A and B are shown apart, each in its own frame.
Chain A
Amino acid sequence: MRRFVKRLYLALILLFLYAPIFVLMVYSFNVSKSRGNWGGFTFGWYAELFRDRQIMQALWNTIVLAVLSAVIATFLGTASAIGINAMKKLPKRVILGINNLPVLNPDIVTGVSLMILFIFAFNMIGRGGLGFTTILLAHITFNIPYVILSVLPKLKQLDKNMYEAALDLGATPAAAFFKVILPEITPAIVSGMILAFTLSIDDFIISFFTTGAGVSNLSIIIYSMARRGVNPKINALSTLIFAVVMILLYLVNRMDSEKLKH
């Protein structure tokens, strides 16, 4: 009896978590635009989605932003993790404290503070405006801390003698870094980069405040559409995003289990 109650409770919570997503998916195939009734099956909303040039442009912006900001943040973040690792205790604590600010600060505060910075700077120069560059700068800024938090612990674990040993054996500092240190910390760098990529794709609030006229990513488009009420095109888009996420999760899991086998 108790077992049954426990199972029922878990099932109800999972239903609560999944029901809205499934409703969204089912209604992306609904002919009728009014939610209440089922008008028949259609792929029409998907066709309309792909014909919508604004949405396709936003999709492209989202991907470009995510790739660029993740790559740049990974370079800057990894380099600074190496530098921070060499620092003494006090400067290290100060830098890591500042580094934590964007992580702890509410997104909305980070968003408005960057918006103030950009507009302030544009007013000083006398030209320029919010747009793709400012979103990109904002994304890099909130991505770097996560790369550092991912790479730094790995650097701390490294045996300090390895680098010295490479030098003693005649390697140049560059060779010692690229052949000895880098391979050791690569997994941490990759996971930092994936984290940065996901955060950039998922971000709405900071992009919302740092974007200018005409430049949108997917979440900005979704937000402006959702504010006007329910729209079956968003349902179709959500279904596709959910499918992509599920496929990616499946692939990552499979890669992990393959690794375990070997």
Chain B
Amino acid sequence: MRSKTPAYPYIVWMAIFIIIPVILVFYYAFTKTESGGMVFTLENFARAFEPIYLGVMWRSIRLAFFCTVICLVLGYPVAYIVAQRKTGTRDIILFLIIVPMWMNFLLRTYAWLTILEQNGIINSVLASAGLPKLNLLYNEGAVILGMVYNFLPFMILPIHTILKKTDLSLVEAAQDLGANGINVFLRVVFPLSVPGVISGITMVFMPAVTAFIISNLLGGKQVVLIGNLIEDQFLNVYNWHFGSALSVILMIIIVITIGIFSVAERDEGGAVL
């Protein structure tokens, strides 16, 4: 069991399928194709900072931020309520929260089409009540809804894990010492759960900021996110250079997010996931 040899095939595999692809992305990001060959350039990045593309990046970050805030506001109470339950009921409720995640991500997103579209359920209810139809699809609201629906469990689970471990006698002690409900929550429960909140925020924000399927299906052409831009550059426009530059920017956003939250997590002492 002292031999390192069994790892060698995978090291070769990693070099080919993990390292070289990343190098290629950087290579294309910093070059352009000119008559005959590739030349070094920063044009792709300069282009990414043109107002139209900055707008797309800003929208991606803004929507991911809204999605994260909504997930936190909706998810925290769920985690809190579930953590207070007895083990048996707690496991059942957690199981119920996890089950939809076993459904394919695309299908979960597609399900909202049925509900929101022009002839969808909400609009037929409105129509039968004699009310005018609403345009529920193909706007930012629909995209945020799709994100919250898909990522809410990622917020609930880490917060719940922390709250479950919290010593309830601390809450009782605070009550005995005269703290009211709001004070107990703000000064005892919430501070204790911060590591879970940080994990939850990371786990929701990261997939939300890179999303492109949700925006494609529920946002249509109206809501373009950075992921859609990358897809378009590679599959429709065939500009690998610009697409790669956008990919590099997306990687940087992720690295910054992980950096910020791992520092925050260290300050709070101990990771959750």
- Report A's interface with B, CB cutoff 8 A: 6, 9-10, 13-14, 16-21, 23-24, 27, 34-37, 76-77, 79-87, 95, 98-99, 101-102, 104-110, 112-117, 120, 137-138, 140-141, 144, 148, 160, 163, 177, 181, 202, 204-205, 209, 218-219, 222-223, 226-227, 229-230, 234-235, 238, 241-242, 245-246, 249
Interchain CB contact under 8 A, A107 and B121 = no
- Which of B19-27, B51-59, B160-168, B188-196 is the contact stretch? B19-27
Give 11 CB contacts A-B under 8 Å: A23-B114, A35-B114, A36-B127, A80-B6, A82-B1, A85-B1, A113-B21, A202-B105, A204-B106, A235-B114, A246-B99
Interchain CB contact under 8 A, B117 and A35 = yes
- Report B's interface with A, CB cutoff 8 A: 1-11, 13-14, 16-22, 24-25, 28, 74, 77-78, 81-82, 93, 96-97, 99-100, 102-115, 117, 119-121, 123-124, 127, 149, 152-153, 206, 210, 212-213, 216-217, 227, 230-231, 234-235, 240, 243-244, 247, 250-251, 254, 258
A141 to B20, CA, bound (A): 13
Interchain CB contact under 8 A, A86 and B1 = yes
A117 to B26, CA, bound (A): 12
Interchain CB contact under 8 A, B124 and A98 = no
Interchain CB contact under 8 A, B231 and A108 = yes
- Tell me how far the C-beta of B226 lies from the nearest C-beta in chain A, rounded to whole angstroms: 9
Which of the residues B81, B104, B247 comes within 8 Å of A219, measured between beta carbons? B104
Closest A residue to B156 by beta carbon equals A13
Interchain CB contact under 8 A, A205 and B251 = no
Q: Chain A binding site: helix, strand, loop or mixed by DSSP?
A: helix
Interchain CB contact under 8 A, A249 and B99 = yes
Known: A116-B28, A226-B217, A230-B113. 20 other contacts (CB 8 A): A10-B81, A23-B115, A35-B114, A79-B7, A82-B1, A83-B5, A86-B7, A87-B7, A98-B18, A105-B251, A108-B212, A109-B250, A113-B25, A117-B24, A141-B17, A204-B104, A204-B213, A219-B106, A222-B104, A249-B99
- The residues of A that contact B3 with a CB separation of less than 8 Å are 82-83, 86
Interchain CB contact under 8 A, B22 and A113 = yes
On whether A144 and B124 interact (CB within 8 A), knowing A20-B112, A21-B100, A222-B104, the answer reads no
On whether A137 and B17 interact (CB within 8 A), knowing A108-B230, A245-B102, the answer reads yes
Interchain CB contact under 8 A, A115 and B234 = yes
Interchain CB contact under 8 A, B103 and A34 = no
Closest A residue to B14 by beta carbon equals A98
Closest B residue to A80 by beta carbon equals B10
- The residues of B that contact A137 with a CB separation of less than 8 Å are 17
- The residues of A that contact B153 with a CB separation of less than 8 Å are 17
Interchain CB contact under 8 A, B111 and A20 = yes
Interchain CB contact under 8 A, B104 and A17 = no
Interchain CB contact under 8 A, A35 and B121 = yes
